[in-house]
Structure 1
Amino acid sequence: MKVIAYGASTSSTSINKALATYAANQIDGAEVKVLDINDFPVPMFSEDKEKEIGQSESAQAFLDEIASADALVISFAEHNGHYPAAYKNLFDWAARINNKVFQEIPAVYLSTSPGPGGAQSSLSAAVTSAPFFAGNVIESLSVPSFYDHFDLATGQMTNPEFAEKITQAVNKLTV
């Protein structure tokens, strides 16, 4: 089983990328490929820019990575209650190429933040909009107060309750 995991964040120290990586690696026997959305640079989307350059090669490469997966684990960062602009921009370019961005591939959607909200607004938006983009969300989970529950040095959950919830969620991808 090939799992594509990524954090919807451009931060080089993204806690959402760390969470997605951890979660994907809880799937026994999975081949996990972790994407960095910084590897898919696109200009700011506009119809004028699309007329000028056509389809974005980076957005096509992003779609190709998604298409190569048997499952997806995505953790959504939150900037002021919304997706980070860079992720939304990449997503917009990809959706212009193929509106079925997630291609019905089974997915677990996650979110986290340093605070008690756990990026729930961003996660809720992602789950709500998923069906419009061929998203097949099997499970979703928010982890609040990330640094209280995760050790970045080891890449492991320190809270057994969240560790179990994440393992249960991603194991639904193998059913």
Structure 2
Amino acid sequence: MAEILAFAGSNSSTSINFKLVEHTVSLVQDHDIQTLNMAEYDFPMYSEDHEAEHGFPDALVKLKERLEHSDAMVLSVNEHNGNPSAYFKNILDWLSRMDRNFLLNTKFMLMSTSPGRFGGVRSLVVVEGMIPKFGGEVVSTFSLKSFNENFGEAGILDDDMKSQHQKALDTFLNSLNK
């Protein structure tokens, strides 16, 4: 049984990426899952001056401890102007200052969604390239296009996207058993 940490790279209280994360982990059995709502975490913007004067924020230290106790992660990243949000990039900047390999040997199911037809895929591609730099391994990816039309109370509505999501989830879960 793997320890899975699940969260979205968004600090919005109405994050559609967090909704996708919650749906995804609701489909997982036989693993210990911790879900984090990042809207509850506030981090100062990274700067060398802030780090030198104040050290690492307590919330960041606690987040890093959770990361260290996880074998795998389900992460859905939001997109701002074709890139990951400044909030998520800021978290990566802080964590990499604490430990460059803070994701060492961690497997990822990486996802994205947006209200638009591209589903946040540009941000997903950027983060997919970043995770290995910190020691993580992206095992599977999934992008849900046009969230408002393709997601409802029952989860993913479009049959093709639902199938793609399940395949990405199965690939991720199968990698945890190896």
TM-score (norm 1): 0.92
The aligned counterpart of 1:34 is: 35
**Structure 2: where are the runs of 5+ without partners?**
none
Deviation of 1:165 (Å): 1.6
Aligned to 2:127: 126
- Structure 1 partner of 2:60: 59
For 1:101 and 1:125, how far apart are their aligned partners in 2?
A: 18
Q: Is the 8 A contact 1:18 1:155 kept in 2?
A: no
TM-superposed deviation, 1:29:
2.3
Tell whether the 8 Å contact from 2:156 to 2:162 is kept in structure 1 after alignment. Answer: yes
Deviations 1:26-76 (A, max 9, x none): 222233221122333221110011100112221121111122222211001
Aligned-partner Cα distance in 2 for 1:69–1:11: 24
SS at match of 2:128: helix
Superposed displacement of residue 168, structure 1: 1.7
Q: Distance in 2 between matches of 1:31 and 1:136?
A: 19
Distance 1:50 1:155, change over 3 A: farther
Alignment partner, residue 112 of structure 1 = 113
Q: 2:145 matched to which residue of 1?
A: 144
Contact 2:11–2:41 under 8 Å retained in 1: no
Q: Which residue of 2 aligns with 1:173?
A: 172
Rounded Cα–Cα distance in structure 1 between residues aligned with 2:145 and 2:19: 14
Query: Which residue in 1 is equivalent to 2:8?
Result: 7
CA distance in 1, matches of 2:114, 2:93: 24
Any runs of at least 4 consecutive aligned residues in structure 1 with deviations exceeding 6 A, and if so which? none
Whether the 8 Å CA contact 1:4–1:34 is kept in 2: the answer is yes
Percent identity, please.
Answer: 28
Give the Cα–Cα distance (whole angstroms) in 2 for the partners of residues 100 and 20 of structure 1: 24
**Of 54-63 and 73-82, the range deviating more from structure 2:** 54-63
Aligned residues: 173
Q: Does 1:46 align with 2:24?
A: no
Cα separation, 1, equivalents of 2:108 and 2:71: 9
CA–CA distance in 1 between the matches of 2:57 and 2:105? 22
Structure 2 residue 18 is matched with structure 1 residue 20: no
The secondary structure found in structure 2 opposite 1:140 is: strand
For 1:62 and 1:130, how far apart are their aligned partners in 2? 16
